[in-house]
Homo-oligomer: A and B are copies of this chain.
Amino acid sequence: MDSKNTESISLTTLQRLPNYLRYLKTCEQQGIVYISSVMIAKGMDLTPMVVKKDLAVAVITEGKPKLGYCVESLIYDIEKFLGYDNTKDAVIVGVGKLGHALMAYEGFSNYGLNIMIGFDANVTTSEVNGKKILPMNKFVDLVKRLNIHIGIITVPKENAQEIADLMVSAGVRAIWNWAPIKLEVPNNIAVKQEDLAASLAVLSNRLKELMKKE
């Protein structure tokens, strides 16, 4: 069916797609109906070539020479490609300050993610934003029963591996790990490491380069 995306999309393109979406939606709101790769590139600090290449792999919509791409169709296609059209349920383990922040963040609904329930070893609050917080002993049963495939880990690094194991045993297939530790999981489980140390390394390196120039 999907003759496209048979071979997997490049990581860089994939990471840019949500940004296209964000930009195109602001264009749509301004009443722009057709947009060229040149315009998109200008608005997003890319080159037109990157835009054309990215769209070519992620989108069915074809651009019209001289006119550009239909904004509405692009939005539709990209949302479809990213799976934003059918929201995926997730659970989060570790409702400390960070976990709390992620649970409360409204923006994830725009990304097709619904954090349904929070779990914590020490439950201190019963709800965040109308979402229940439950003790760990309910975890495996509930995740299995609700058939939830995405787990978010925001526990201290000492406990992250055991939580990952628990998630895998409960049928979780994709883990978003915020603990600064490399998780060991079976190779049929996807892990995305959120690496703040790497982000900081990039930022402070750029800062150093800037300072050197003066």
Contact = CB atoms under 8 A, between A and B. Distances in A.
Interface of A: 8-9, 11, 14-19, 22, 44-45, 82-83, 88, 96-98, 100-101, 104-105, 107-108, 110-113, 149-150, 173-174, 176, 180-182, 188-190, 192, 194-211, 213
B101 A211 contact: no
Contacts of A197: 18-19, 22, 110-111
A87 to B, nearest CB: 11
A80 B143 CA distance: 44
Contacts of A201: 14-15, 17-18, 82, 111
Nearest to A200: B111
A22 B200 contact: no
Contact of A209 (B8, B101, B113, B204): B8
- Main SS of chain A's interface residues? helix
Contacts of A207: 149-150, 173-174, 190
B210 A190 contact: yes
18 contacts: A8-B205, A14-B198, A14-B201, A14-B205, A18-B195, A82-B205, A97-B101, A98-B101, A98-B105, A107-B180, A107-B196, A111-B196, A113-B200, A173-B207, A174-B203, A174-B207, A190-B210, A192-B202
Contacts of A17: 201
A112 B182 contact: no
A184 to B, nearest CB: 10
Contacts of A176: 199-200, 203
